[in-house]
Amino acid sequence: MSHESINKEKARRAAKHPDRPGEDCRAEPGQYSPVVDRARCEGKRDCVEVCPYGVFEVRRMEDADFDGLGFFARLKSRAHGRQTAYTPNADHCKACGLCVVACPEKAIQLVRR
Ligand code: SF4
Ligand code: SF4
């Protein structure tokens, strides 16, 4: 897990956000997972920087996901080097909700599995 990528200031700000959803890290891992809207995500990495459990990874969007985007979303994605967030460690999510409020694009939803 990539705890060394944590930005403490951003995480602190997200923790105080009044709209933070989730269960304050009290959920058992695996009950919730973050879902990224690829049409919104701009690969800005705030999710990587605030998640205490190393759930996210930002990398080039896979072809299948890119092909599923609409015309304007594809243009936008190209403008951001096709970078997007994936959740290789979604099983570690404890539903703290920090990523949801930290994402500047409002691209993340926390869903019960
Ligand atoms: S989901 Fe939001 S915070 Fe994460 S990389 Fe995409 S734009 Fe950035
Ligand atoms: S809600 Fe889950 S994925 Fe989001 S920051 Fe918290 S532990 Fe990480």
Splitting the chain (113 residues) into consecutive groups of 10 residues, what average pLDDT does each group show?
79 93 87 96 96 97 97 96 97 96 97 92
Which CATH number describes the domain made up of 3-112?
Answer: 3.30.70.20
Instruction: Report how far residue 55's alpha carbon sits from residue 61's, in angstroms, rounded to the nearest whole number.
Output: 17
Is 58 touching ligand 1 by the criterion CB < 6 Å?
yes
* Sequence spans of domains, the chain: 3-112
pTM, two decimal places:
0.91
- CA 95/CA 25 separation, integer angstroms: 5
Q: Is 46 in the pocket of ligand 1 (CB under 6 A)?
A: yes
